[in-house]
Structures are given as structure tokens and as C-alpha cells.
């Protein structure tokens, strides 16, 4: 593939993005940005509420990381749940974008295309720039709120604005076919839908040789510890039942989040904490890669998902996966790469856990790794987005 000498300038907006209070939020969006930056000039403009800002309404942070130039504008948020406070926060949200846009213009950054991630507010900003600055925009949606078992996509005006924004976009991408179809069922219509999955740094996540052998078979679960969606309590109840059948395994929970302390207490109540269930805290970067390589397989028992990056990272490391059949997971997790189970069915989950503990070594690590290389690498994902941008800008010039 040949590329033009002048790189396409992409301005990426996102509802979620890593920031000073939460370095994990929207990490999958950041990885998309880094993949795109291999072929385009990528600028991120992200705004984030912050209750702790005291003296000024706005604070800014600007940096370049992995060839992605990033501006983060923090805006003061009122914590009170009143109509006045909500109005104040919404006004400051859009003022923060205005401030960030002025910072871009001072640096003579003139984007060729806007890439809005996660609707609806980012889409409003993108639509404004299309109308008043004549810049086309693309939408990437990651959010599972459009799925049948989610109740967060509601409200007349939210739905109205979302339909308008989607219709005016030059293209829509989703990380799974399942999410694309769910959006279309909500009458979010556009003639140019594409499926582009999440990205994994396959140069970082890869199988490692000579990893020390564990005393017991090791299962790993990585998540944000939000029990309503991840159903970690269901995992623990299942593990407690399985522990009466066999004792040759351990489950390592990696991550942090809202329900972690409650779940640790629940594990202690069940009598499995620090016997077959262990909480290892948040891990990032090379530490996470190394730890993932000590596992025999990954598990998820989520009530709803879209396409969790942790599954793709496991694939890149050659690990099979046991997961619930929710969202678009079944589009990528087939019997060559693991096992699917029904959400909420703890009896079936116990059976599948028992099966995986006896059979994980039968999966071909090299083939699992090869699938990740061919579908989720920076090169593959970056080129997919680049081709969409190129087609949009070419058609605009006609």
C-alpha cells in the first residue's frame, strides 16, 4: 500500500480517555489513536470533569505520547444533583471543548477529519465542526448501551440527537457486528457502517518462553471490578462450588474498581479468599504482560459486554479464553480459541471451568497468537481507519 506524502490530519474526540484521575478509562480509544498515528497525524482533544478544581474553571494538560499529540481540558464540575448544577456542568463541558479548539488553532492545527468516539456529546461537537468548519466526521462506537440488556440508552432528546448525528456522519465504525446491528435496530442509520475491532499491541503482548511453572493451574480474570456487568460475584460462587470437586487451581483477580472491597469481603465470606481466589491489584504495561503469561487461561463471566480488550490481549499471548456469550464476543471466540458459556448460568459455568482446567493445554497457542496478529495488530487496525479517511476525503474533493 502506498501513502500520500502529506499525512491526513485527524482530530480525535472521545467520551472516555485516560487522564490524571483514571489512567485506564478509555484505554482502548487511546490504542486506536496510536494505531492510526502510524499513517496519519493524530491529535486528541479530550475534556474531563473534575470536582477538585478550585481556583479556575479550567485546567489544561498538553503532551505527546506514542506520536499522538494530546490536549486534555479539565473543567470544574458541581457535585450537587440539581437542575442548576447539571446545566452548569453541561455549559462547562462545551466551553472546555471551545478552549481546547482555540489551543489547536493557536498551534495552526487544521484537521482534515474529525473522529468522534462514544456518543452522544462528542457527536454534537463533531456535528458543530462539520456545519461551521466544513470538516467531515467519523464515529466509532464502543458502548454496549445499545444492546438489549442495557437500560442506559434512553431519553427522547438523547435518542433524537444521536439519530441526527449518526445520519450526518461520513461513516460509522463499531468494534463488533453485534453492536452495529444493535445501533441499527435503534434506527441509528447510515449508509457506511464498518466493523473495526479493538487493537492490541502485539509487539508487547506475546507468548513468553521459560515462564516459571505454577504450583497450581492458574486462571486469570482482568476487569474494572464493576459487579453489575462483570458478575465477579457469580465467578466466586462458581469457584466455591468447584473447590469442592477439585483443588488443583487458583484464580487471580487483576484490576481495581468500585466493587473491589465488597467483592474481597464476599470471597472471604465464602471461605475462598487466599485459598483458591487471590486479588492482585491493578497491573499495567509490562507487568500485566508478564503476569498474563503466567496464566493457563483467561475467564470472563460478564452479564453484558461488547468486545473486551482483555480477550484480545489473551489471544495475543496465545491463551485460550472462557467467556459468556454476550455482545460480539462470539464473533471472535470460537472453539479453536476457547469456550463460550451462557450469561448468569452458574451451573454451566462450573462445568466449563472444570472442562477448561482439564483441557486448556489442548489449545494451539501458535494459532491463537496468529489470529491476533491478523486481526488486532496496530498495522491492521491503522490501515482500516486510514482507508476510511482516504475514501471520505477523496469523495469530498469530487
Question: Domain of 362: which CATH number?
Answer: 3.40.50.2000
Same domain, 282 and 385: no
> Which domain covers residue 232, as residue numbers?
217-375
**pLDDT value, residue 295:** 94
Give the model's pLDDT for residue 298.
97
Would you call 148 helix, strand, or coil by DSSP? coil
Question: Do 295 and 186 share a structural domain?
Answer: no
Question: Domain for residue 207, yes or no?
Answer: no
> Quick one: 46 and 165 in the same domain?
yes
Q: Return mean pLDDT, the chain.
A: 92
**pLDDT tens-place string over residues 314-373:** 999 999 999 999 989 999 999 999 999 999 999 999 999 999 999 999 999 999 999 999
User: In this structure, is residue 59 part of a structural domain?
Assistant: yes
Residues of the chain with pLDDT below 50 are: none
Instruction: Yes or no: say if 229 and 305 are a contact pair by the CB < 8 Å rule.
Output: yes
- Give, in order, the Cα–Cα distances in Å from 174 to each of 177, 190, 291: 7, 12, 30
Q: Please give the tally of structural domains in the chain.
A: 2
Residues 188 and 233 in one domain: no
Domain co-membership, 61 together with 192: yes
Residue bearing cell 503466567: 294
Partners of 63 in the beta sheet? 70
SS3 194: strand
pLDDT at 398: 62
Q: What is the C-alpha to C-alpha distance for residues 235 and 270, in angstroms, rounded to an integer? A: 12
Gyration radius of the chain over CA positions:
22
SS3 assignment, position 45: strand
Q: Check whether residue 182 and residue 256 sit in a common domain.
A: no
1 part of a folded domain: no
Q: Are residue 124 and residue 234 in the same domain, yes or no?
A: no
- Whole-angstrom distance, CA of residue 297 vs CA of residue 320: 5
Amino acid at each position: 500500500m502506498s501513502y500520500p506524502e502529506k499525512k491526513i490530519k485527524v482530530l480525535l474526540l472521545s467520551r472516555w480517555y485516560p487522564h490524571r484521575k483514571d489512567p485506564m478509562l478509555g484505554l482502548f480509544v487511546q490504542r486506536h489513536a496510536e494505531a492510526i498515528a502510524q499513517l496519519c497525524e493524530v491529535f486528541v482533544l479530550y475534556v474531563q470533569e473534575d470536582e477538585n478544581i478550585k481556583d479556575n474553571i479550567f485546567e489544561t494538560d498538553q503532551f505527546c505520547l506514542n506520536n499522538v499529540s494530546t490536549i486534555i481540558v479539565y473543567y470544574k464540575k458541581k457535585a450537587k444533583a440539581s437542575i442548576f448544577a447539571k446545566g452548569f456542568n453541561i455549559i462547562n463541558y462545551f466551553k472546555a471543548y471551545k478552549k481546547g479548539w482555540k489551543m489547536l488553532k493557536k498551534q495552526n492545527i487544521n484537521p482534515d477529519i474529525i473522529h468522534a468516539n462514544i456518543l452522544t456529546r462528542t457527536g454534537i461537537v463533531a456535528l458543530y465542526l462539520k456545519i461551521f468548519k466544513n470538516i467531515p466526521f467519523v464515529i466509532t462506537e464502543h458502548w454496549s448501551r445499545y444492546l438489549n440488556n442495557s437500560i442506559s440508552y434512553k431519553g427522547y432528546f438523547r435518542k433524537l440527537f444521536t439519530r441526527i448525528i449518526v445520519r450526518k456522519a461520513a461513516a460509522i465504525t463499531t468494534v463488533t457486528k453485534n453492536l452495529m446491528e444493535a445501533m441499527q435496530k435503534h434506527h441509528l442509520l447510515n449508509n457506511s457502517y464498518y466493523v473495526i475491532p479493538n487493537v492490541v499491541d502485539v509487539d508487547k503482548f506475546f507468548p513468553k518462553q521459560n515462564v516459571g511453572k505454577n504450583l497450581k493451574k492458574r486462571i486469570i480474570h482482568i476487569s474494572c471490578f464493576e459487579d453489575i456487568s462483570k458478575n465477579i460475584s457469580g465467578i466466586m460462587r462458581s469457584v466455591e462450588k468447584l473447590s469442592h470437586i477439585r483443588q488443583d487451581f487458583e484464580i487471580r483477580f487483576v484490576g481495581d474498581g468500585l466493587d473491589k472491597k465488597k467483592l474481597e469481603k464476599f470471597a472471604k465470606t465464602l471461605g475462598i479468599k487466599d485459598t483458591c481466589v487471590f486479588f492482585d491489584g491493578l497491573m499495567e504495561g509490562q507487568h500485566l504482560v508478564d503476569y498474563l503469561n503466567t496464566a493457563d487461561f483467561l475467564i470472563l463471566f460478564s452479564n453484558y459486554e461488547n468486545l473486551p480488550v482483555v480477550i484480545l490481549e489473551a489471544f495475543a499471548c496465545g491463551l485460550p479464553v472462557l467467556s459468556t456469550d454476550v455482545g460480539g464476543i462470539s464473533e471472535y471466540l470460537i472453539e479453536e480459541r476457547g469456550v463460550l458459556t451462557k450469561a448468569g448460568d452458574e451451573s454451566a459455568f462450573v462445568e466449563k471451568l472444570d472442562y477448561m482446567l482439564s483441557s486448556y493445554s489442548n489449545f494451539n497457542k501458535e494459532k491463537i497468537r496468529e489470529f491476533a496478529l491478523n486481526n488486532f495488530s496496530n498495522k491492521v487496525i491503522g490501515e482500516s481507519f486510514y482507508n476510511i479517511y482516504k475514501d471520505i476525503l477523496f469523495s469530498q474533493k469530487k
